[in-house]
């Protein structure tokens, strides 16, 4: 009986950990993504890394503002084709939630 209770506690702990992890931005490999991005010669590794890091930091601040369904959809979309981009994820979330604004102005 004691081992059964321990097993239930372990399962509950894993479920809680997953729920908490789901409420944080995903962990993407910025360097790998930027190496793939610069292959086409569109940008430099430094510029790409800065953009991705800025987007990751912005996501960390605003993650709780986005709906669960938007998060799931956008995480999937920003990971299509093996690349994982915080810039794409942030843009998707902003557009899906109606929070998109031009920061370049």
Instruction: Give pLDDT tens digits for 24-82.
Output: 999 999 999 898 877 766 678 999 999 999 999 999 999 999 999 999 999 998 887 77
| pTM given for the model | 0.70
**How far is residue 17's CA from residue 34's CA, in Å, rounded to a whole number?**
30
Tell me the three state secondary structure of residue 102. Answer: coil
Q: Where are the domains of the chain?
A: 26-97
75 versus 8: the higher-pLDDT residue is 75
For residue 104, the model assigns a pLDDT of 43
**How far is residue 100's CA from residue 54's CA, in Å, rounded to a whole number?**
16
Segment 8-22 shows an average pLDDT of 43
Cα dist from 83 to 17, 37, 54, 90, whole Å: 26, 9, 17, 14
């Amino acid at each position: 009986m004691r081992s059964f209770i321990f097993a239930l506690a372990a399962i509950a702990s894993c479920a809680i950990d997953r729920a908490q992890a789901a409420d944080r931005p995903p962990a993407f490999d910025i360097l790998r993504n930027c190496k793939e991005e610069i292959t086409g010669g569109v940008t430099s590794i430094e510029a790409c890394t800065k953009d991705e890091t800025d987007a990751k930091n912005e996501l960390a601040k605003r993650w709780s503002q986005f709906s669960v369904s938007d998060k799931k959809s956008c995480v999937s979309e920003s990971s299509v084709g093996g690349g994982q981009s915080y810039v794409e994820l942030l843009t998707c979330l902003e557009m899906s939630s109606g929070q998109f604004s031009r920061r370049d102005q």
